[in-house]
Amino acid sequence: MEKEKAYKLLAAQMGLSNAKAKALIDRGVVYVGNRKVAIARGELPIDTKFRVLNLQRAEVIFENEEVIALNKPAFLTSDEAIRDFEGARLLHRLDRETSGVLLSAKTKKFEKRALEAFKARAVYKVYTCWVEGIVSEPFTVDKPILTVKRGGRAYSKIDRKGKPAVTHVEPLLISGKRSKVRVVIETGRTHQIRVHLRNAGFPIIGDAQYGVPSNQTNRMLLHALQVRLLGYDFKAPEPKGFDVLAGG
The CATH number given to whatever domain includes residue 7 is 3.10.290.10
Do both 161 and 120 map to the same domain?
yes
- On the CB side of 153, CA atoms within 13 Å amount to 8
Please report whether residue 245 resides in a domain.
no
Query: In this structure, are strands 99-105 and 222-229 parallel, antiparallel, or unpaired?
Result: parallel
Residue 47 designated active-site = no
Do both 10 and 122 map to the same domain?
no
Angle, CA of 173, 244 and 36, to the nearest 5°: 130
- Taking CA atoms, 44 is separated from 28, 32, 33, 51, 61, in Å, by 17, 10, 13, 14, 41
Please report whether residue 246 resides in a domain.
no
Helices 18-27 and 6-14 meet at what angle, rounded to 10? 110
The answer to whether the beta carbons of residues 239 and 223 sit under 8 Å apart is: yes
pLDDT for the residue 247: 63
pLDDT digits (tens, 9 = 90+) for 119-162: 999 999 999 999 999 999 999 999 999 999 877 788 999 999 99
Please report whether residue 73 resides in a domain.
yes
Please report whether residue 161 resides in a domain.
yes
Please report whether residue 100 resides in a domain.
yes
Do both 17 and 73 map to the same domain?
no
Do both 201 and 80 map to the same domain?
yes
Do both 184 and 199 map to the same domain?
yes
> How many domains, the chain?
2
Low-confidence spans in the chain with pLDDT less than 70: 247-248
Range of the domain at 12: 3-52
- Helical (H) or strand (E) element with 196: helix 192-199
pLDDT for the residue 213: 77
Do both 37 and 132 map to the same domain?
no
Q: Residue 216's domain is classified under what CATH number?
A: 3.30.2350.10
Do both 7 and 126 map to the same domain?
no
Of 47, 95, 159, 207, the active-site residue reads: 95
User: Where a domain ends, among 52, 72, 88?
Assistant: 52
> How far does CA 65 lie from the centroid of its chain?
28
Query: In this structure, are strands 99-105 and 166-175 parallel, antiparallel, or unpaired?
Result: unpaired
Do both 157 and 124 map to the same domain?
yes
pLDDT for the residue 30: 86
Strand partners, 235: 226
Query: In this structure, are strands 139-142 and 99-105 parallel, antiparallel, or unpaired?
Result: unpaired
Please report whether residue 94 resides in a domain.
yes
Q: pTM here?
A: 0.84
Do both 47 and 151 map to the same domain?
no
Do both 112 and 225 map to the same domain?
yes
Do both 108 and 183 map to the same domain?
yes
pLDDT for the residue 72: 97
Please report whether residue 13 resides in a domain.
yes
Do both 32 and 75 map to the same domain?
no
Please report whether residue 48 resides in a domain.
yes
